[in-house]
Chains A and B, each alone.
Chain A
């Protein structure tokens, strides 16, 4: 059944193709013209998307700068509390966003998560072993779609509508609140996000934030004096802070990647317009020449 259909199509195709290329030059010219028009429209769209991304970029980068320092101040405790056995129960929070057309931003974090689950040497949390049944939470629809194919049974929570504009602390706090309320057990939270390397490059990275219990058991954390027990408050506040830092940095990466992707798309559209215009003009000229030849031959035959 299938075979017959394909054969029929193969047979039918040459005749379809042959017809316009023979003598109907005007028809192909018309086709090229239409194509040219649509490519021009696409170029307009990509160009304006690039402009929008460019204007958003400086704002996003400023937010990232502040967010990064905020995250660094927050991570200091965990740097000290690194010593001692870390619990093996990890909760992964993957930070991406809902919108596409920005290069490999989303697949970068997805791949990093897969590497972490595969315990490969280039995993973002090198050295730590990840259990295959670790929980995963995803911020953003794009990575959710990608990861739901690979780790469908590990999903606990997913978030969307975050990262449309520059993320605020309220966004991060509400995510952290839901994570805490979800009742998922964890010793540490691993946030996988895109790290801003330069305006044209980014790489997936991970921040690890210990939970209350793991923090209490850690040797390094015992160096700190506390009048009452604030470990729970600290763990929850730190989670929100780390999420905020990751969200702002990922957002800046996304905007800059979108700017680059749209820049490339506009360039490609420009190239395409050039070659199509050339083809169109050549065809037009050929058609005119043909008509002239027809007229002249007709005149000389008289």
Chain B
């Protein structure tokens, strides 16, 4: 009986401990410091955000606070930044690197990016057709490869706009 009570109290204490720990964790840092930079503009400068969804080369991923340090190359696709609960902004980036640092920092270096709503569906379609035409045409191997990459970017852009 006595031993049972002891276990019981220990269990209670443990649960309260866990509770305190979780709350502390949630309060201390549920945000990650994001720096997102382009060569000609910096979109975020060490801004605290809740979550960042990136399209890494190995698959889409969401990054929350205290993520394990990692290096992720990005493929052309959408980066979604959730600054606070509810609001989110989307950018289409042409590729780059996202790096999560040990001190709860996330840096994204992209060569080019633009807000998703700035794209025009018509020009994507015409440019995609042009790129596909060059890719299947009889240019040099290098030109074709470039056109194929171009077509891939347009396709993912079309996909991103379609799923908006």
Contact = CB atoms under 8 A, between A and B. Distances in A.
B108 interface: yes
Given A80-B101, A224-B99, A230 B37 contact: no
A238 B97 CA distance: 9
Nearest to A237: B97
Contacts of A226: 70-72
Nearest to A168: B39
Interface stretch (A16-24, A70-78, A128-136): A70-78
B124 interface: no
A73 B71 contact: no
Nearest to B34: A73
Question: Main SS of the interface on chain B?
Answer: strand
B101 A66 contact: no
A69 B35 CA distance: 9
B71 A234 contact: yes
B39 A67 contact: yes
Contacts of B41: 66
Contacts of A224: 69-71, 99-100
A5 interface: no
B42 A69 contact: yes
B45 A69 contact: yes
B101 A77 contact: yes
Contacts of B71: 77, 224-226, 230, 234
A80 B104 CA distance: 13
Contacts of B73: 230, 233-234
B37 A80 contact: no
A227 interface: yes
Nearest to B96: A237
A76 B99 contact: yes
Contacts of A172: 39
Interface in A202-259: 223-228, 230, 233-234, 237-238, 241, 244
A241 B58 CA distance: 22
A63 interface: yes
A77 B70 contact: no
Interface residues of B, number: 28
Interface string B35-72: 11111111001000000000001100000000011111
Contacts of B68: 225
A73 B108 CA distance: 7
A169 interface: yes
A233 to B, nearest CB: 6
Given A226-B70, A228-B58, A234 B37 contact: no
B111 interface: yes
Given A66-B40, A70-B37, A225 B69 contact: yes
Given A76-B101, A223-B102, A237 B58 contact: no
Nearest to B107: A73
Contacts of A227: 58, 72
Contact of A70 (B42, B58, B102): B42
B31 interface: no
Listed from nearest, the 4 A-B pairs whose CB atoms lie closest are: A225-B70, A169-B39, A69-B42, A73-B107
Given A74-B107, A224-B100, A234-B71, 9 more contacts: A67-B39, A67-B40, A73-B35, A73-B108, A74-B37, A168-B39, A169-B39, A227-B72, A241-B109
Interface of A: 63, 66-67, 69-70, 72-74, 76-77, 80, 168-169, 172, 223-228, 230, 233-234, 237-238, 241, 244
22 contacts: A67-B39, A70-B37, A73-B36, A73-B37, A73-B42, A73-B107, A73-B109, A74-B107, A74-B109, A76-B101, A77-B99, A77-B101, A168-B39, A225-B68, A225-B69, A226-B70, A227-B58, A230-B57, A233-B97, A234-B71, A234-B73, A241-B109
